Amino acid sequence: MAIFNIQNRKLSPIREKSIDLEKDIQKLTEENLEVIFGLQFVSTEFALQNFRIDTLAFDKEANAFVIVEYKRDRSFSVIDQGYAYLALMLNNKADFILEYNEKAKENLKSYQNISFVNQDAEKLNLGRKFDCITASYLPKYCTPDILVKNCIEHLNNGGKIILHDFTYPKNKFIRKMWNFYFIILDLVGFFVPDWKKVFVSLPHLIRTTYWVAEYEKTMKKNGLKVYKQDLTFGTSAIIVGTKII
């Protein structure tokens, strides 16, 4: 595609200048990812299994990883390589997320009020109190009495515990749509084997858990003021417990 320069309302063609080394293209692009593509830089030369990804980036709007490869040769076919990278990403999401989190830690070192801790939520002990504790997709995996009591130990007076997770919708029509959605995901599992177990176990867990009622009862028993709300046509919920002063 031709590119022109505008000067005094007249267009003059901009001559193309080749870059000799792919590494130079890569360095220039990585230093300007936000400007060129609106992407967040994650890692360079990210090695996983038998692959080495030139540039790993993250699209905040799409909430998705982006792989950037550099080719000087216009005739070079990248279709097969693209499919290989797609399969690599789908089958190793945890490794990509871990890399993103590790880079986030490095980028946030200058912020004294942000820290990363890898602990069991039911046994977590940070040695200090907070105004708000939030958790998403965690409640259904924990014992309400243990988790709530541990959260209260870390909560200032007037502080809040905010929990969010999936729920099985009560509306019959929404339930049919919900079940159909997981049938589709189950089919996707045939093409992404590592996801297969998730698509089988997750809907069963959501159908059989009553985490909202259990956490509401536990929060009230521990003296918290409780507020709850269904979200997204009853497919998820949020429950808030406030520590009364």
Averaged pLDDT, groups of 10, the chain, 245 residues long: 82 78 84 91 89 90 86 63 80 84 75 77 90 93 95 95 95 94 76 63 89 97 96 95 90
For helices 79-91 and 193-208, give the axis angle rounded to 10 degrees.
Answer: 40
Amino acid at 152: I
- Predicted local distance difference test score (pLDDT) of residue 206: 92
118 CB-near residues (< 8 Å, 6+ apart): none
Residue with tokens 């998730």: 198
33 CB-near residues (< 8 Å, 6+ apart): 39, 40, 41, 55, 57, 68
Strand partners, 58: 40, 65
- Predicted local distance difference test score (pLDDT) of residue 191: 66
How far apart CA 105 and CA 116 sit, in angstroms, is: 7
- Predicted local distance difference test score (pLDDT) of residue 198: 64
Whether this model's pTM surpasses 0.75: no
Look over the chain and give the mean of its residue pLDDT values, rounded to a whole number. 86
CA-based nearest residue to 152, from 219, 238, 229, 227: 219
- Predicted local distance difference test score (pLDDT) of residue 183: 84
